[in-house]
Amino acid sequence: MNENDFTELENQLRKLRPAQPSAELITRVERGLAEEGSTSTAGVLPRERRFHFNWLSLGLGLAAAAALVMLALIRLHQPAKKAPTVASKSPLPAISTTSNAQFVPAGLTQVVYHTRDEGVHFPTNSQQPMRRVRSHTRETLQWRNPQTGASLRISYPSEQVSLVPVNGQ
Amino acid sequence: MENVATDENWKTCFSQLAPGLVLFARRWTRSAADAEDVVQEAFVKFWRRNHDIANRGLLYATVRSIALDFLRRDSRRARRESTAMADVDKAVEPAFDIEDDSQRALVAAIDRLPAEQREVLTLKIWNELTFAEIASALGISQNTAASRYRYALAALKKNFPST
């Protein structure tokens, strides 16, 4: 028999049954779970202390949350008030007002990146069926100052719905 | 045991775990009554925070922590703390339902094991903890837990050759 084979020994050990605790133990645990703040066994871990800790944590958490909310509110209000001030104080608009007239249109690009055929429809006041095509595009407008070489570009998304007449054959 | 670990009914959990928990707690206490006090306190504290026993390592760590606090609380015991573990080893009757002489001899052999080996043996055999859970409960590595378990079995086999 292998000296390191403890299977038989483990089986013997498992046959040993620990003594059952007293019947009232479960009742005492039930009472302990039901009663708040009781210290059933000489107060090894006073529950008041634990609850005090929980309330303290809750209070600190709420205070931190309130501070964050107030900070967020302040930040939300700040740009609305300061935006005109910044615009007027910024030196860039002053430059642009003098040079704005010198910007000339340099280009327009329109990129259609998604088109969806929404099927045949009968628009109001139309006897002819129309096919509705919805396109998502991105338009970019560009200006350029020939004197300074500066350029200005504005890009924005747009959605376009086209009605294409349907020719029945 | 896996079903118990996910059962949210504390009575079901406790009924199945209580004998093993009390046996574990008796390592530090001088009587079954004291061990039950420790288990009661530990389980109430544990259940209020967890509401299930998925983390069994933490449950046994709680029992251990409260048992040590319990041991230190009593000034009479505190005075003896330096020799408490040795006293407990001798004083505590193994808390098993012994059926025959063979089991009595086996329990006596268990009683002679070093406390740290008996502790791991108790958690492994009668509480069915994994080595990972034992490591978590006792604050030792899994390798140490496994080593202590094998040393315990080897010692028992040596003292109890019929197995």
Over chain B (163 residues), what is each successive 10-residue block's mean pLDDT?
58 89 88 90 90 88 90 64 52 71 88 91 94 94 95 89 61
The per-residue pLDDT for B129 is: 94
Give a yes or no: residue A75 inside a domain.
Answer: yes
B14: which chain A residues are within 8 Å (Cβ-Cβ)?
Answer: 26, 29
pTM of structure: 0.53
For residue B103, give its domain range.
Answer: 2-159
The per-residue pLDDT for A47 is: 38
Residue A118: name the closest of A129, A132, A135, A130 by CA.
A132
How many domains would you assign to chain A? Answer: 2
Cβ-Cβ contacts under 8 Å between A and B: the total is 110
Give a yes or no: residue A73 inside a domain.
Answer: yes
The per-residue pLDDT for B99 is: 84
**Collapsed DSSP state (helix, strand, coil) of residue B97:** strand
Residue B29: name the closest of B87, B76, B79, B103 by CA.
B87
A23 touches chain B (CB under 8 A): no
pLDDT (tens digit, 9 = 90+) per residue, A43-86?
344 333 444 456 667 778 888 888 888 888 777 766 554 444 44
The per-residue pLDDT for B36 is: 92
pLDDT (tens digit, 9 = 90+) per residue, A15-52?
999 988 888 898 899 888 887 554 444 334 433 344 44
Amino acid identity, position A82: K
State which of A34, A57, A89 marks the end of a domain: A89
Give a yes or no: residue A123 inside a domain.
Answer: yes
Residue B19: name the closest of B133, B150, B126 by CA.
B126
| Of residues B37, B40, B96, nearest to A18 (C-beta) | B96
Give a yes or no: residue A8 inside a domain.
Answer: no
How do A104-121 and A17-18 pair as beta strands? unpaired
- Cα angle vertex B95, ends B121, B16, to 5°? 75
Hey, what are A142's tokens?
């560009």
Give a yes or no: residue A24 inside a domain.
Answer: no
The band of A146, judged by pLDDT with boundaries at 50, 70 and 90, is confident
For residue A115, give its domain range.
Answer: 101-165
A141 shares a domain with A112: yes
The per-residue pLDDT for B23 is: 92
A130 shares a domain with A81: no
A152 shares a domain with A116: yes
Q: Do residues B46 and B58 make contact, with C-beta atoms less than 8 angstroms apart? A: yes
Give a yes or no: residue A19 inside a domain.
Answer: no
A30 touches chain B (CB under 8 A): yes
CA distances from residue A40 to B41, B61, B66, B109, B117 in whole angstroms, order as listed: 7, 20, 13, 35, 31
How far is the C-alpha of B99 from the C-alpha of B58, rounded, in Å? 33
Average pLDDT, chain A: 74
Give a yes or no: residue A20 inside a domain.
Answer: no
Asked whether the beta carbons of residue A25 and residue B40 sit closer than 8 angstroms, the reply is yes
